């Protein structure tokens, strides 16, 4: 898979999981994909303060992304910087 195909498939994975997050008042945005292995996302809305957001990130988001793009090694959440 080339870089563009990886990005497209990561977006497909996020589109699959997004309705579940939105149902609970949250959302997710793709920030970047580094070295075609590391996906950086931002959990938004209710997901930010949710006590199980790391479990959602690993067992929901990361697992779904790896289903579409097996070469992805890790998915991390980048907290929004506020000033």
pLDDT tens digits, 8-43: 999 999 999 999 999 989 999 999 999 999 999 998
Residues spanned by the domain of 70: 3-77
Whichever domain contains 71, its CATH number is 3.30.300.130
Burial of 42 (0-12, 13-18, 19+ CB in 10 A): middle
Half-sphere exposure of 17 (CA within 13 A, CB side): 26
The number of domains in the chain is: 1
Q: Answer whether residue 83 shows pLDDT above 70.
A: no
The predicted model scores a pTM of: 0.87
Mention every residue, 6+ apart, whose C-beta is less than 8 A from residue 20: 60
Question: For position 52, what pLDDT does the model report?
Answer: 79
Evaluate whether residue 83 is within a structural domain: no
């Amino acid at each position: 898979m080339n870089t563009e195909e990886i990005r497209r498939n990561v977006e497909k994975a996020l589109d699959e999981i997004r309705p579940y997050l939105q149902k609970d008042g949250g959302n997710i945005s793709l920030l970047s994909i580094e070295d075609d292995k590391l996906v950086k996302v931002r959990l938004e809305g209710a997901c930010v303060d949710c006590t199980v957001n790391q479990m959602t990130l690993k067992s929901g988001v990361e697992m779904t992304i790896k289903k579409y793009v097996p070469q992805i090694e890790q998915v991390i959440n980048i907290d929004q910087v506020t000033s």
